[in-house]
């Protein structure tokens, strides 16, 4: 974010503040993330450019321009389950969303998603003592219990071919997060592993999901294409704590603006 300190027709001076996060996206444990707050001083120089204006092509910009869109994406993620089960496994994802694009720049909408976790499925199917005893109820339907269903709201800033996207979601079905929490939140006492209780913090993490990443679009957003495809790289999280890293391929359909 930037704040204008001084601005003229030729130069602008701005103060900025931001944040960075470095981690391996939960593809290897331990994953000690590094968070930093940044401050910056920015100077912009402006150069005038003469342009020939065709009176027949004058566009009225007094009103904002809004497009509707529908979008779908399919992704492949990777993660590990816990320190004692530190093998990289796949996460398969699918999503569908509808929303609006404002002024070819701001994109927002609502959607639903589906995810299938290989690490959950493999652990549930295994002969691990924990799986057979404390989480035996998950064995009744391993495939369904290794899935996640949810709804989300997203916001995206379009910058020609590139974009930055954020997403906040609610999992209304993620039963295997309880075993995830058990394996990753505990300590050893007298040679025995003691897990933290599945309390309020755990329940919130089971429900709240978030997502942050970048997209590259085949066609520039400034041309308001009716059909577009994109490649995305994201980190998905449980209430801000990395869940898995993901690459996805998607499609966007935006009806042409009448006028």
Same domain for 77 and 29?
no
| 57 in a structural domain | no
| 56 in a structural domain | no
Q: What is the pLDDT of residue 184?
A: 87
Same domain for 40 and 104?
no
Q: Is the pLDDT of residue 216 over 70?
A: yes
235: number of CA atoms within 13 Å, CB side?
A: 15
From CA 59, how far away is CA 74, in angstroms rounded? Answer: 37
Partners of 130 in the beta sheet?
none
Q: What is the pLDDT of residue 188?
A: 66
| 144 in a structural domain | yes
Range of the domain at 138: 65-253
Q: Is 186 exposed, middle or buried (CB count within 10 Å of its CB: 0-12, 13-18, 19+)? A: middle
| Stronger pLDDT, 34 or 135, i.e. the higher one | 135
Partners of 111 in the beta sheet?
97, 152
3-class DSSP state of 47: coil
3-class DSSP state of 126: coil
Specify the pTM.
Answer: 0.80
Task: Report the domain count for the chain.
Answer: 2
From CA 20, how far away is CA 168, in angstroms rounded? Answer: 19
Same domain for 94 and 132?
yes
Same domain for 30 and 152?
no
Q: What is the pLDDT of residue 24?
A: 75
Q: Are 133 and 139 in contact (CB under 8 A)?
A: no
Q: How far is CA 28 from CA 91, 181, 234, in A?
A: 15, 16, 16
Same domain for 113 and 241?
yes
| 191 in a structural domain | yes
Q: What is the pLDDT of residue 53?
A: 53
- Of the candidates 209, 131, 118, 125, the residue with the CA atom closest to the CA atom of residue 169: 209
Same domain for 18 and 84?
no
Q: What is the pLDDT of residue 99?
A: 97
Mean pLDDT over 107-134 rounds to 93
Q: Are 80 and 119 in contact (CB under 8 A)?
A: yes
Indicate the helix (H) or strand (E) that contains 131. helix 129-132
Q: What is the pLDDT of residue 10?
A: 80
Task: Write out pLDDT tens, residues 240-252.
Answer: 888 999 999 999 9
- Of the candidates 150, 83, 173, the residue with the CA atom closest to the CA atom of residue 119: 83
Residue whose pair of structure tokens reads 């909408």 in the numeric block:
109
| 30 in a structural domain | yes
């Amino acid at each position: 974010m930037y704040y204008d300190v001084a601005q003229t027709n030729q130069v602008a001076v701005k103060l900025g503040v931001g944040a960075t996060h470095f981690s391996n996206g939960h593809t290897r444990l331990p994953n000690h993330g590094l968070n930093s707050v940044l401050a910056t001083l920015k100077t912009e120089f402006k150069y005038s450019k003469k342009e020939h204006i065709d009176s027949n092509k004058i566009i009225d910009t007094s009103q904002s321009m809004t497009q509707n869109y529908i979008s779908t994406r399919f992704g492949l993620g990777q993660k590990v389950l816990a320190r004692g089960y530190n093998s990289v496994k796949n996460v398969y994802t699918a999503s569908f969303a509808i929303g609006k694009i404002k002024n070819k720049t701001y994109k927002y909408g609502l959607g639903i998603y589906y995810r299938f976790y290989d690490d959950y499925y493999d652990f549930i199917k295994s002969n691990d003592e924990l799986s057979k005893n404390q989480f035996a109820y998950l064995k009744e339907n391993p495939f369904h219990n290794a899935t996640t269903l949810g709804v989300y709201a997203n916001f995206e800033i379009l910058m020609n071919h590139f974009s930055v996207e954020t997403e906040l979601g609610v999992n209304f079905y993620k039963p295997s997060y309880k075993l995830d929490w058990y394996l990753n939140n505990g300590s050893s006492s007298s040679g025995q592993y003691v897990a933290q209780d599945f309390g309020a913090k755990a329940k919130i993490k089971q429900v709240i999901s978030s997502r942050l990443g970048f997209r590259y679009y085949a066609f520039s957003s400034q041309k308001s294409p009716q059909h577009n495809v994109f490649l995305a790289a994201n980190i998905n999280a449980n209430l801000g704590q990395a869940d898995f890293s993901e690459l996805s391929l998607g499609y966007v359909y935006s009806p042409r603006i009448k006028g």
